[in-house]
């Protein structure tokens, strides 16, 4: 199988902030095009790549969705040579001081998020945890240069370049959820030479970080018979060790709980066992916090399953995940697809009597 790392690094190097996914959508489209029969773009700019069943008869349709948008920042004001900012998506202001960013003004400008020095603050604000109102972006430009190039509403993306870690791990911003886009790509590559007995729609969705907007609309359009939401979950790491966290690099997490159809949870678990792919069961007592929530309640209801790769330091510029887990996730999905036909589909949802 082709090494996914260069593609993933290219995905991580594009902004694609929620609502403005074009830059990343373009390179995903280029990669998906040879792997699907039809590639379409939804009205909200989600990408839908369709692999058709090798028959004209009616076959079940499976949707695998991964959001491609990323968290970021936005210019609030241009003020005395500095930019005040707000966040797009959930960002802890405490991770922002010292962050390199790109300000997408009339042209792309390097910038740096920083804190006001304590000596210019009073006792209530000095040495405290920063709030986003106290942070600003410094581009190093003069007041006039900046005013000519940047205006309120301009986007600001993380600029810290992604990099490979020792032994098959990767770090960078936007691994949430470009890692899942890479997993979808690997899945499509794996099933490329198979005649399918089901239809598959691989969707790269928009605006997940703003409440699953792309997933809801894409699922409505595609109206699949069953769906997978592929996303990232929390890896164990400093300060993160409770039941919601999983050992990094030791297999994908299969969601269990109301957001997941039990038949799909069982089937994925059985497949992982059969393929000897290590996995975790991720307990989701109420909701999954993923695209799966919007997908499940679309139209008259879609059997949905959440599948996740664990990742450290979510929503920072140094997110870290395992290339092996990306490959495992792709393989697990591919096997589910090649196993799916009208017969197995109807068996999957046979009500079991207690």
Partner 1 sequence: MSPQTKQVLNVGKAQLDLLEELTNANGVSGNEIEIREIIRKKVAPFVDEINVDGMGNLLVIKHAKKPNAIKVMLDAHMDEVGFMIVEEDGDGLYEFEHVGGGDERQFVSKPVSVGSQKLPGVIGSKPIHLASEDEMNAVISQQGMRIDLGPAGKGKAKRGDYAAYATKFIRSGDAIFAKALDNRLGCATLIELLKTAPEHVELLAAFTVQEEIGLRGAKVAAYDFYPQLAIAVDSTPAFDFERPDGNENTQYNCKLGGGPAIYIADRGTLSDPRLIRFLTEVAEENKINYQYRQPGGGGTDAGALHLTRGGVPSVSVSVPGRYAHTAVMLARISDWQDTLNLLQQALEALTPEILSGDRA
Interacting residues toward partner 1 by CB under 8 A: 79-80, 82, 90-92, 94-100, 109-110, 112, 114-117, 119-122, 125, 127-130, 134, 138-142, 145, 160-161, 163-169, 171, 234, 236-240, 242, 244-245, 247-249, 289, 312-320, 322
Dihedral angle, C-alpha 17, 65, 11, 190, nearest 10 °? 180
Asked if omega into 177 is within 30° of 0 (cis), the reply is yes
Query: Half-sphere exposure (CA, 13 Å, Cβ side) for 26?
Result: 8
Q: Which of 42, 240 has the CB closer to partner 1?
A: 240
Q: Residue 209's closest CA among 312, 101, 93, 88?
A: 88
Within 13 Å, how many C-alpha atoms sit on residue 81's CB side? 5
When the beta carbons of 80 and 352 are compared against partner 1, the nearer one is 80
How many Cα neighbours within 13 Å face the side chain of 346? 3
In the bound state with partner 1, the residue whose beta carbon lies nearer, of 110 and 152, is 110
CA distance 257 to 192: 32
3-state secondary structure of 195: coil
On whether the CB atoms of residues 117 and 136 are closer than 8 A, the answer is: no
Q: Give every CB contact of residue 64 below 8 A, 6+ residues apart in sequence.
A: 184, 187, 200, 201, 202, 203, 227, 228, 230, 333
Min dist. Cβ of residue 161 to partner 1 (A) = 7
The set of residues, in sequence order, having a beta carbon less than 8 Å from that of 352 and lying 6+ positions away, is none
For the CB of residue 266, give the shortest distance to partner 1 in the complex, in Å.
27
Kindly tell me which of 76 and 244 has the beta carbon lying closer to partner 1: 244
Q: Which is nearer to partner 1, 152 or 161 (CB)?
A: 161
> To the nearest whole angstrom, how small is the minimum distance from the Cβ of residue 288 to partner 1?
12
The answer to whether the beta carbons of residues 336 and 321 sit under 8 Å apart is: no
**In this complex, which beta carbon is closest to partner 1, that of residue 169 or of residue 220?**
169
Minimum distance between the CB of residue 128 and partner 1, rounded to whole angstroms? 7
Of residues 1 and 129, the one with the C-beta less far from partner 1: 129
Contacts of 265 (CB under 8 A, 6+ apart): 254, 255, 256, 305
Residue 73, helix vs strand vs coil = strand
Nearest residue (CB) to partner 1, 177 versus 298: 177
Q: Closest approach of Cβ 73 to partner 1, in Å?
A: 13
| Cα–Cα distance for residue pair 235/310, rounded to 1 Å | 5
Nearer to partner 1, 225 or 319 (CB): 319
The residue among 20 and 313 lying less far from partner 1, judged by its C-beta, is: 313
Shortest approach of partner 1 to residue 311 CB, angstroms?
A: 9
3-state helix, strand, coil in the chain (%, to 5): 30, 30, 40
CB of 297 to partner 1, least distance (A): 21
Cβ atoms of 147 and 109 closer than 8 Å: no
Indicate the SS3 state at residue 237: strand
Q: Nearest distance from residue 238's CB to partner 1, in Å?
A: 4
To the nearest whole angstrom, how small is the minimum distance from the Cβ of residue 44 to partner 1? 24
Shortest Cβ distance from residue 183 to partner 1 (Å)? 19
């Amino acid at each position: 199988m082709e090494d996914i790392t260069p593609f993933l690094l290219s995905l991580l190097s594009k902004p694609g902030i929620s609502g403005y996914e074009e830059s990343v959508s373009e390179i995903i489209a280029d990669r998906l095009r040879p792997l699907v029969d039809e590639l379409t773009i939804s009205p909200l700019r989600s990408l839908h790549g369709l692999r058709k069943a090798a028959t004209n008869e009616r076959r079940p349709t499976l949707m695998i969705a991964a959001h491609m948008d990323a968290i970021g920042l936005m210019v609030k004001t241009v003020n005395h040579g500095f930019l005040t900012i707000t966040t797009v998506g959930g960002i802890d202001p405490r991770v922002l001081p010292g962050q390199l960013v790109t300000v997408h003004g009339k042209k792309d400008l390097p910038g740096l998020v920083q804190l006001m020095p304590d000596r210019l603050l009073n006792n209530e604000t000095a040495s405290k945890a920063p709030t986003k109102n106290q942070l600003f972006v410094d581009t190093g430009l003069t007041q006039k240069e900046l005013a000519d190039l940047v205006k309120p509403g301009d986007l600001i993306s993380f600029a810290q370049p992604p990099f490979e870690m020792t032994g098959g791990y990767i770090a960078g911003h936007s691994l949430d959820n470009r890692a899942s886009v890479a997993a979808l790509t690997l899945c499509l590559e794996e099933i490329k030479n198979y005649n399918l007995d089901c239809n598959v729609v691989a969707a790269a969705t928009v605006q997940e970080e703003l409440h699953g907007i792309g997933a809801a609309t894409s699922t409505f359009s595609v109206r699949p018979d069953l769906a997978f939401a592929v996303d990232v979950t929390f890896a164990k790491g400093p300060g993160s060790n409770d039941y919601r966290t999983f050992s990094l690099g030791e297999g994908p997490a299969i969601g269990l709980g109301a957001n997941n159809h039990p038949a799909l949870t069982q089937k994925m678990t059985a497949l992982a066992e059969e393929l000897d792919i290590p996995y975790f069961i991720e307990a989701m007592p109420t909701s999954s916090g993923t695209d799966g929530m919007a997908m499940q309640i679309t139209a008259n209801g879609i059997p949905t399953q959440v599948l996740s790769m664990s990742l450290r330091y979510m929503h920072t510029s140094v997110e870290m995940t395992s290339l092996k887990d990306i490959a495992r996730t792709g393989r697990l999905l591919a096997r589910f697809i090649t196993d799916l036909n009208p017969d197995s589909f109807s068996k999957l949802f046979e009500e079991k009597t207690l």
